Structure 1
Amino acid sequence: MQIEAAAARTAATDGLVVALDIGGTKIAGALVDDRGTLLVRAQRPTPAAEDAESVMRAVSEVIGELAADPRRPLATAVGIGSAGPVDASSGTVSPVNVPGWRDFPLVQRVREATGGLPVVLTGDGVAITAAEHWQGAARGYDNALCMVVSTGVGGGFVLGGVLHPGPTGNAGHIGHISVDLDGDPCPCGARGCVERIASGPNIARRALDGGWRPPEGVEATAAAVAESARAGDPVARASFVRAAQALAAGIAAAATLVEIQVAVVGGGVAGAGELLFGPLREQLRRYATLSFAAGVKVVPAQLGTDAGLVGAAAAAFAAPLVPPSAGPYGLAGGPRAVLSA
């Protein structure tokens, strides 16, 4: 079933878009209005270990569920925030944590699945940055780095008050800055990347390598490591400190290059709270030592798991193919930014 492109926009459907948030763990979708309200939701697990068509089938199921909603609201465009790297200029994606997708023509396939709607593609970190700058923790800052620390580590920049996705939609992809030149190999091909140290699976991997074991019947995840760390397990705590060190080094590098004022950190790993943020702020003081970088604030993201969907919608509203409302990225509440598409 396909979502119909609007021939004429009505008051009830004004500013409605489809938003997709595609990651290594889940594929989420929503119908979103021009105030960022998620009206209808759908979600599937990402079959990341399967082939390209299996992953696309999950995307199509999410789109089909949105289209099957009894209200059947009309949509004017689709915004996608995808795990990266992405290539917004060609409409393709090659997520590190979805090996079946390499140069996968996601924009074309989603356009076909939605009956020819315009499709705007960004990296997931850029999408989350758009959302947090619009109505989250980066609101009011002209220069910000927003990060998502989860299955992977992504990010995006706001520079001079404008979202800065870069020509292909990957600017701010802090997860693949190398912070340990002789460190473990990363799936991206480099060594010692922030993601290889600070992502949830790697926090758990490092704790397991150090001798930590989860309670019986509990999966070895970053959340389980966090629980053990709070209970006083030194190996579990050390794994979080190491993750914080990697994140601090990456943030300090960004601050040195482009003079950010704030670093917003979200994603599942950020749910550990002060277990992560405490050592992160401490480590940042060690790495961000130059006067123009030393004042960077580190704050938790505010939009939670909805940030990717809100940001993907923001990308769709910003596209020239969709008549925007006044506001950030085409939404109500602030100045627009220009996104590459």
Structure 2
Amino acid sequence: MHNDLAAALDIGGTKIAGALIDARGDILVRAQRPTPAREDGETVMAAVSAVLGELAADPRWERATALGIGSAGPVDASAGTVSPVNVPGWRDFPLVDRVRAAAGDRPVVLVGDGVAMTAAEHWQGAARGRANALCMVVSTGVGGGLVLGGRLHPGPTGNAGHIGHISVDLDGDPCPCGSRGCVERIASGPNIARRALDSGWRPGPDGDTTAAAVARAARAGDPAAVASFARAGQALAAGIAATATLVEIEVAVIGGGVAGAGEVLFAPLRRALRDYATLSFVAGLEVVPAQTGTDAGLVGAAAAAQALAGGPVPAAPPASSR
């Protein structure tokens, strides 16, 4: 991004975040509002406008050459619309047109949140320098994105690499997407917790029933908690192996809140991957944790904006410079 800045929006079911980001990936200005996810579409858009207004009030706004949006999906980049599953007031909502009104003559680029995370990891994180990678967010949902041939590959609608809705259990539980046995239905945080509870795990005195609490129980040896994470790892491994077989990725990068479980998740995932990634051209596939943390959506939206809007593709700084 050289001496210019990029503006970024990261839109999810919990928060709407915005930032101005420089050529090193450093966030210079932040703004954030809670997502009024259960309200009507215009109320949600008002929160987006408030974030944009706060960014635009900073003098550095004038240096922003593009604006990237990473949104919970599905998104349709070709139409500029979003229909986040967890924001029911937005169905085919014309987000790009509405944001463009505030962006002036800057190009506006829309990608799914998994693609945004992928852009961040390829620029600054664990996929840096890799020509072919799958990057995943495993959290309340499971999303992802692809790097192919050294470039971000969002696909025509901005959803390529959405591994969460690959079916890995043909007769499995119905998924909210309409399919059955999706990776997300097995490996997302809420489903890890649901399965542990159904199998007899019980929370501690604090009543915490999140996947993080299940991870703590798994580290302590609770069999239901261990089994739930093993099942999640198996589902992730099957989806990763299928993706690798299709497009020959060399690394799978996993981020998001569930990845914070560490080896409770990664150990069974890597074991299961040996059973699924068996062909010679995928047998060396690596699985590594993400490095860009909670700002991945913002940093990635900025990187995607520059890469996909025809501007200079941001180059990763030397490792010693960060």
The normalised TM-score by structure 2 is 0.92
1:278 is aligned to 2:267: yes
1:75 is aligned to 2:68: no
Detail structure 1 runs of 4+ shifted over 6 Å in the superposition.
Answer: none
Greater CA deviation, 104-113 or 143-152? Answer: 104-113
Q: Paired residue for 1:207? A: 196
Corresponding pairs, count: 316
1:172 is aligned to 2:161: yes
Greater CA deviation, 254-263 or 233-242? Answer: 233-242
Greater CA deviation, 62-71 or 128-137? Answer: 62-71
Q: Paired residue for 1:90? A: 79
Report the CA distance between 1:285 and its aligned residue. 0.6
Q: Paired residue for 2:25? A: 36
Report the CA distance between 1:70 and its aligned residue. 6.9
- The separation in 2 between residues aligned to 1:217 and 1:49, in whole angstroms, is 27
Work out whether residues 9 and 16 of structure 2, in 8 Å CA contact, stay in contact via their aligned partners in 1: yes
1:194 is aligned to 2:183: yes
Alignment counterpart, residue 162 of structure 1, candidates 134, 148, 151:
151
SS at match of 1:27: strand
Work out whether residues 142 and 187 of structure 2, in 8 Å CA contact, stay in contact via their aligned partners in 1: yes
Alignment counterpart, residue 279 of structure 2, candidates 290, 295, 299:
290
Seen in structure 2, the aligned counterparts of structure 1 residues 17 and 214 have a Cα distance that, compared at 3 Å, is: same
- The separation in 1 between residues aligned to 2:194 and 2:36, in whole angstroms, is 21
- The separation in 2 between residues aligned to 1:187 and 1:256, in whole angstroms, is 26
Alignment counterpart, residue 299 of structure 1, candidates 288, 311, 316:
288
* CA RMSD, Structure 1 to Structure 2 (Å): 1.9
Q: Paired residue for 1:22? A: 11
Seen in structure 2, the aligned counterparts of structure 1 residues 108 and 140 have a Cα distance that, compared at 3 Å, is: same
Work out whether residues 24 and 151 of structure 1, in 8 Å CA contact, stay in contact via their aligned partners in 2: no
- The separation in 2 between residues aligned to 1:75 and 1:149, in whole angstroms, is 31
1:124 is aligned to 2:107: no
Work out whether residues 97 and 152 of structure 1, in 8 Å CA contact, stay in contact via their aligned partners in 2: no
- AA partner of residue 168 (structure 1): T
1:148 is aligned to 2:131: no
Q: Paired residue for 1:314? A: 303
Q: Paired residue for 1:259? A: 248
Work out whether residues 20 and 81 of structure 1, in 8 Å CA contact, stay in contact via their aligned partners in 2: yes
Report the CA distance between 1:102 and its aligned residue. 1.2
- The separation in 2 between residues aligned to 1:163 and 1:71, in whole angstroms, is 27
1:141-199 C-alpha deviation (Å, 9 max, x unpaired): 11111111111111111111121111111110000000111111111111111111111
Report the CA distance between 1:95 and its aligned residue. 1.7
Work out whether residues 218 and 224 of structure 1, in 8 Å CA contact, stay in contact via their aligned partners in 2: no
- The separation in 2 between residues aligned to 1:231 and 1:70, in whole angstroms, is 51
Alignment counterpart, residue 45 of structure 2, candidates 40, 43, 56:
56
SS at match of 2:65: coil
Report the CA distance between 1:277 and its aligned residue. 0.4
Report the CA distance between 1:232 and its aligned residue. 1.9
Work out whether residues 25 and 151 of structure 1, in 8 Å CA contact, stay in contact via their aligned partners in 2: no
Seen in structure 2, the aligned counterparts of structure 1 residues 254 and 235 have a Cα distance that, compared at 3 Å, is: same
Structure 2 gaps, min length 5: 318-322
Structure 1 gaps, min length 5: 1-10, 325-329, 335-341
Greater CA deviation, 44-53 or 176-185? Answer: 44-53
- The separation in 1 between residues aligned to 2:104 and 2:130, in whole angstroms, is 38
Q: Paired residue for 1:225? A: 214
Work out whether residues 107 and 309 of structure 2, in 8 Å CA contact, stay in contact via their aligned partners in 1: no
Q: Paired residue for 1:331? A: 314
Work out whether residues 75 and 159 of structure 2, in 8 Å CA contact, stay in contact via their aligned partners in 1: yes
Report the CA distance between 1:213 and its aligned residue. 2.6
- Select the structure that is richer in helix: 2
Q: Paired residue for 2:35? A: 46
Seen in structure 2, the aligned counterparts of structure 1 residues 118 and 238 have a Cα distance that, compared at 3 Å, is: same
The normalised TM-score by structure 1 is 0.87
SS at match of 1:316: helix
1:294-318 C-alpha deviation (Å, 9 max, x unpaired): 1100000011111111110011112
Work out whether residues 20 and 55 of structure 2, in 8 Å CA contact, stay in contact via their aligned partners in 1: yes
- The separation in 1 between residues aligned to 2:95 and 2:66, in whole angstroms, is 15
- The separation in 1 between residues aligned to 2:39 and 2:10, in whole angstroms, is 19
Greater CA deviation, 28-37 or 271-280? Answer: 28-37
Seen in structure 2, the aligned counterparts of structure 1 residues 267 and 109 have a Cα distance that, compared at 3 Å, is: same
SS at match of 1:76: strand
